[in-house]
Amino acid sequence: MSRVDAFYEARFICFGIAIAILMLFIGPHMVWKFMGQKRATELVKRWEAEDARVHPPGSFLPVWSVRLAGYLSTHTVSRPSPNPLLLPNRVGRPEFTHLLRS
């Protein structure tokens, strides 16, 4: 075996070991994320079924969605918030004055 062939063989072995180490760490993480997404999807289906069971036909049903947190995001669970115009205005009432302080 020549010196150049030994050099390239060593490079190939190092590259193979690096890929194996990456797969050793990334593989379980990918499986874990897949299982988490599957469980979150099943949870959303249960929430939707419970909402459909509790509310009468034709009434408003919230639409649930789940986006698991990624490496650069912080999104988790979202549900449409109620219309803020329908909420009573409590700011300024004596029992809620502590909310006005910063």
Mean of the per-residue pLDDT values of the chain: 77
Confidence at residue 6, expressed as pLDDT on a 0 to 100 scale: 94
pLDDT in tens, 18-57: 999 999 988 998 888 889 888 988 988 998 888 888 888 8
| Radius of gyration of the CA atoms of the chain, in A | 27
Question: What is the distance between the alpha carbons of residues 88 and 9, in angstroms, rounded to a whole number?
Answer: 74
Q: How confident is the model at residue 77 (pLDDT cuts 50, 70, 90)?
A: low
